[in-house]
Amino acid sequence: MTYSQFDYIIIGAGSAGCVLANRLSEDGQHQVLLLETGGSDKSIFIQMPTALSIPMNTRKYAWQFTSDPEPYLDNRQMHCPRGKVLGGSSSINGMVYVRGHAGDFDEWQALGAEDWGYAHCLPYFRKAETWAFGGDAYRGDTGPLAVNNGNNMQNPLYRAFIDAGVQAGYPATADYNGMQQEGFGAMHMTVKNGRRWSTANAYLRPAMQRDNLTVVTHALVERILLDGQRAVGVRYSRKGQTQEVRCRAEVILSAGPIGSPHLLQLSGIGRPEVLQAAGIEVQHALPGVGENLQDHLEFYFQYRCQQPITLNGKLDWWNKLLIGTRWILKKDGLGATNHFESCGFIRSKAGVPWPDLQYHFLPAAMRYDGKEAFDGHGFQLHIGHNKPKSRGFVRVRSADPAEAPQIRFNYLQHEDDREGFRACVRLTREIIAQPAMDPYRGEEIQPGRGVQSDEEIDRFVRQAVESAYHPCGSCRMGEDELAVVDSQTRVHGLEGLRVVDSSIFPSIPNGNLNAPTIMLAEHAADLIRGREALPASDLPVRGDAQWQSRQRLQAAMRPAS
């Protein structure tokens, strides 16, 4: 069956797609179709923040992708879940809100993404959000996306970690999403009134009340339809039936950093040798499709806690029942937070201009699947080197849209990335050795005191790192021969086709990717509608003026033992 009444077809109801569905339908003048392979997000396990590990590891709500054996990680295959539900990955993620450093977006512009520097992006960050503590020049107060600090660091371990960072010679930051990212402070999350505030809740659900927006779930898009060099529609399957739908204006691909390059390749758009190897006829040669894949790695630095104040005492079935019941009745308590309520952003060495290491502090010692790491009480820091130079790829395997693509990140391929993780281990030990942690710090469980030399650290990292679930860059924005879209998000060499999601990031920001993905979609919506961009900002950014010669502001109070 073929329909032709739509102006815009958006593929993917994820972090970017939900924003676009709202913004492109808000004037009531255009018919918009949003296609999503997954289904409803109305599950307690999605909406209750503390249950975040469940949807991420559930096939109903997430594509459970796996990488090729990674050659620089002892050939481990890495888990790469991506949202398959209304809200996409914003419905399965950790709800951490980090914009990234201003330098990250100026880096985008330097790499060829014109008008995507920090001055151009900041107004769209502000437009998207409502910051719980009031708007200012850096933070918004009227946007759809609610941002707060969960339970406001009630557990004393959160404050102790921040104090330890300051004692180690780093600055405190009152708002790492404002003037100053570098330093230690409270962490922000996308939660509203105790519920996960995904883009489905923030953007899509209000827009679904409009007559000019049609949302179709359980629709697997098989290919983008081309008429010569113009995209004219899509083909998708639903409930065993194949359907084609046409558009008058544009097809907008928002299937994410794995799905977007894969669908372009299924449509015959990509590197010719990759398409031919998969038995797909080349419709438009574009060699950068699927290349430039990036991701963040992290590992857990775990310690025993000398006081019985951690979440490890809340992991039995009775306490989980109490937490869940309270959340159902009141939408507050431990069920209403992701538990990452303090954080840090630091530089790995002198000569690095802005932070490239990120901490998430958790007052518990557990794995991402929510299981205990050891008996007793403990705490952990998620730490990663966030500006990797290693690059991977996404490549179609066959013409079957149901077959997952080949994914290889080439994690730790570059020596600078390995050096960054050595800094993670050594700098973290120094921070936790500070006096603020004395009442709490017990035995180091992981990596363990036996891990000291470069070789020992490298071996530990290869075996222990996990994805932070921040893939991006596989349809890079720019103007060179390996760029996939231009600065207007239009696919090079084709008409009527754009890509709008984290796949078009030229480089990976220092932080979680949900906030910059939402910002990108807000900005792209104005580009698509032909509206004048929001006025660029001229606000200053605070950093260390002596970054070339020092790694932190001052010496630590106490060196690592």
Collapsing DSSP to helix, strand or coil, 347 comes out as coil
Q: What is the mean pLDDT of residues 409-432?
A: 98
Specify the pLDDT at position 453: 98
Residue 238 CA, distance from chain mean position: 29
Specify the pLDDT at position 559: 87
Residue 23 corresponds to which amino acid?
R
Euclidean distance between CA atoms 285 and 46, whole angstroms: 40
Residue 394 corresponds to which amino acid?
V
Burial 389-409 (b: 16+ CB within 10 A, else e): ebbbbbbbeebebeebbbbbb
Euclidean distance between CA atoms 167 and 164, whole angstroms: 5
Specify the pLDDT at position 5: 77
pLDDT band at 372 (very low <50, low <70, confident <90, very high): low
Instruction: Classify residue 532 as exposed, middle or buried by CB count within 10 Å of its CB (0-12, 13-18, 19+).
Output: exposed
**For residue 55, which of 34, 82, 30, 75 has the smallest C-alpha distance?**
82
Instruction: Report whether 19 belongs to an annotated binding site.
Output: yes
Specify the pLDDT at position 2: 46
Instruction: Classify residue 57 as exposed, middle or buried by CB count within 10 Å of its CB (0-12, 13-18, 19+).
Output: middle
Burial 484-506 (b: 16+ CB within 10 A, else e): bbbbebbbbebebbbbbbbbbbb
Instruction: Report whether 16 belongs to an annotated binding site.
Output: yes
DSSP 434-474: SGGGTTTEEEEEES-TT--SHHHHHHHHHHH-EE-S--B-T
Euclidean distance between CA atoms 408 and 288, whole angstroms: 15
Q: Over the stretch 397-409, which tens digit does the pLDDT of each residue have?
A: 999 999 999 999 9
Question: Has residue 492 got a pLDDT over 90?
Answer: yes
Annotated active-site residue in 218, 470, 492, 523: 470
Instruction: Report whether 11 belongs to an annotated binding site.
Output: yes
How wide is the angle at C-alpha 517 spanned by C-alphas 274 and 81, nearest 5°? Answer: 60
| Interacting residues of 547 by C-beta distance below 8 A, sequence separation 6+ | 347, 350, 351, 352, 353, 354
Euclidean distance between CA atoms 530 and 498, whole angstroms: 14
Instruction: Report whether 12 belongs to an annotated binding site.
Output: yes
Give the total residue count for the chain: 561
Euclidean distance between CA atoms 12 and 4, whole angstroms: 19
Question: Has residue 235 got a pLDDT over 70?
Answer: yes
Specify the pLDDT at position 1: 41
Instruction: Report whether 137 belongs to an annotated binding site.
Output: no
Instruction: Classify residue 158 as exposed, middle or buried by CB count within 10 Å of its CB (0-12, 13-18, 19+).
Output: buried
Residue 406 CA, distance from chain mean position: 21
Q: What is the DSSP code (8-state) at residue 51?
A: G
Q: What is the mean pLDDT of residues 71-96?
A: 98
Euclidean distance between CA atoms 166 and 185, whole angstroms: 10
Euclidean distance between CA atoms 301 and 452, whole angstroms: 14
Residue 59 CA, distance from chain mean position: 19
**CATH numbers and ranges of domains, the chain:** 2-529 (3.50.50.60)
Check if 470 is active-site.
Answer: yes
**For residue 252, which of 504, 423, 420 has the smallest C-alpha distance?**
504
Mean of the per-residue pLDDT values for the chain?
Answer: 96
Instruction: Report whether 231 belongs to an annotated binding site.
Output: no
Give Cα separations from 31 to 73, 227, 234, 548 (angstroms): 47, 21, 15, 53
Task: Report CA torsion sign: 465, 466, 467, 468.
Answer: negative
Q: Over the stretch 146-199, which tens digit does the pLDDT of each residue have?
A: 999 988 899 999 999 999 999 999 999 999 999 999 999 999 999 999 999 999
